[in-house]
Amino acid sequence: MNVPAESKPVAGKNAGFPFAPENWQASDAERIAREEGIELGPDHWLLLRCLQEYFSRHEDSDIKIRGLKDALDETFHQKGGGGYLHRLFPGGPIAQGCRLAGLPVPPGAVDKSFGSVQ
């Protein structure tokens, strides 16, 4: 994925999040993260951008968990891939990340085999 790695949101409704869902705002992610006990850092925001970009390029019915997981692993490979993402998002990088990114959680994302606990 070719997503800019800004450390946190910049001014403007969705500035820095070109693929964000229409009604989503960074403050939504901050609120949900706070409720779920996550302090958002640069890589959290990068994952949200990656998820939003991936969803913008695929129809809802075309979202495949394996393809999404592979794309995220590739983006975060140098930092430890899926294991690193699970440390960032203990509820599962796809399930928890989608909630914060304002995206629907794809079928199969809440699955013990993907490390999701929700």
CA atoms of 98 and 51, how far apart (whole Å): 7
pTM of the shown model: 0.81
Residue 16, Cα to own-chain centre: how many angstroms?
14
Q: Is the pLDDT of residue 31 over 70?
A: yes
For residue 60, give every residue at least 6 positions away whose Cβ sits within 8 Å of its Cβ, in sequence order, or none.
104
Q: So what's the pLDDT on residue 62?
A: 80
Output 105 or 15, whichever has higher pLDDT: 105
* Domain coordinates in residue numbering, the chain: 26-114
Q: So what's the pLDDT on residue 59?
A: 81
Q: So what's the pLDDT on residue 111?
A: 54
For residue 71, give every residue at least 6 positions away whose Cβ sits within 8 Å of its Cβ, in sequence order, or none.
1, 50, 54
Q: So what's the pLDDT on residue 7?
A: 47
CA atoms of 36 and 32, how far apart (whole Å): 6
Per cent of the chain over pLDDT 90 is 64
Q: With bands split at pLDDT 50, 70 and 90, how would you rate the model's confidence at 115?
A: very low
Please state the φ and ψ torsions of residue 63, each to the nearest 5 degrees: -75, 115
Helices marked H in 36-116: 42-56, 65-75, 81-88, 95-101
Q: With bands split at pLDDT 50, 70 and 90, how would you rate the model's confidence at 114?
A: very low
Q: Is the pLDDT of residue 67 over 80?
A: yes
For residue 90, give every residue at least 6 positions away whose Cβ sits within 8 Å of its Cβ, in sequence order, or none.
38, 96, 117
Q: So what's the pLDDT on residue 24?
A: 95
